[in-house]
Structure 1
Amino acid sequence: MVERRSRCVEAIAAVLLALIAGCAACAQPADPYDGDLRRALSQATSDFERQVLTDRRITRAEYEEAVRRYVACMQANGIGFEAVDQGLGYYVYVETPTSPDHNTINPRCQRGTTLLIEPIYTGMVTNPAKADPRDLVAKCLILKGLAPEEYSAGDLAADAAADYRNAPFDGDDPRVRTCHQNPSIN
């Protein structure tokens, strides 16, 4: 009888340990971009994209390589084009002068380079938890001292609809633009 109780206690302890270990794994937050990365991998059209997306993460170096390939393609097709780092965590593009062939060449150059990679990477940099962007912008404005503590996503939407005429901040302030362009930069 004692031996049977001992085995029963050991079995219960083993089950509890397994549940605790399982719960610890469940407590790990899932990558909010995992689904996007999986979809992008299934839509990849180049070996480069597949190589970047296979491990379901995008490093800064991989993003920069995608941008480099995209810009090189645009330039090779006669488009005056460059990537500009504005310190926001991602690049913006400048075309000089604007080419009438842009609408034809741009999609071709994006395919296999930045088309799938850039939107996910930019999202990961600007909104790592994939939260409501309006909440993030409102919090950024508060953190920068541009809006009162109670400022909310709803306030931001109302202020934006009124072209920021009644906002507690100047809509043209570069700090406001930074909050809109990358609210996670704080």
Structure 2
Amino acid sequence: MTDLQRGVLSDGKITDAEFREVRQRYIDCLTDAGIHATARPDGGYDFDTQLVGAQADAERQCAEETTYVIEPLYYAIRTNPQKEDFSALVAECLRTEEVVDSTFTKDDWDQFVNAFSAAQAGESNGNDIPLASELPKLPGGVAMDDPRVQECSTNPLGR
């Protein structure tokens, strides 16, 4: 853990100001590495180019020094304060939004996320950058980038 991360976590809280500072330091680190990115207000980042090779390595290093530990904790505290099983919450949200049918479970969600991550990493076909058509879809053919899936996977309780 870096001094920045230890400082943010030292009092057991992550304030909005601390979170903004961590995100800005991540953006600054990327800029220093020659990568242009912007932080989205709802979380996540937009990059001007696909990150491969040295740029992907630089992004990973920047994240490890800044957001890697802080960001998941910040969102978890706000979106799941009761510390419920997050995958179960996502599956329930997807069922409620009628993205999947009533038989879809947390294990189905976990399997989908693992398959999606493997495909994005190029493990399914050996390519560095998979085509959108090669990425796994939820039962019924709904893609990960569907707004309902994005909302359920980041904020399943709607908070």
Report the TM-score when normalising by structure 2.
Answer: 0.64
- Is 1:136 matched with 2:92? no
Q: Give the Cα separation in 2 of the matches to 1:137 and 1:121.
A: 18
Within the candidate set 6, 9, 20, 1:64 is matched to 20
CA distance in 2, matches of 1:97, 1:154: 33
Question: 1:154 & 1:107 partners in 2: Cα distance?
Answer: 28
Percent pairwise identity: 32
RMSD: 3.2
User: Could you tell me which amino acid in structure 2 is paired with residue 104 of structure 1?
Assistant: D
Alpha-carbon contact 2:100-2:139 (below 8 Å) kept: no
Deviation per residue, 1:95-126 (Å, 9 max, x gap): 21235422332233234321221121132233
Q: Structure 1 residue 78: deviation in Å?
A: 1.1
Change (3 A) 1:151 1:129: farther
> Counterpart in 1 of 2:119?
none
* CA contact 2:37–2:46 (8 Å) conserved in 1: yes
Give the SS at the match of 2:44.
strand
Name the residue aligned to 2:150.
177
**What SS does structure 1 have at the residue aligned with 2:82?**
coil
Deviation at 1:171, TM superposition (A): 2.4
Aligned CA distance change for structure 1 residues 112 and 164 (closer, same or farther; 3 Å)? closer
Shift of 1:50: 2.5
Q: Which runs of 4 or more aligned residues in structure 1 lie more than 6 Å from their structure 2 counterparts after TM superposition?
A: none
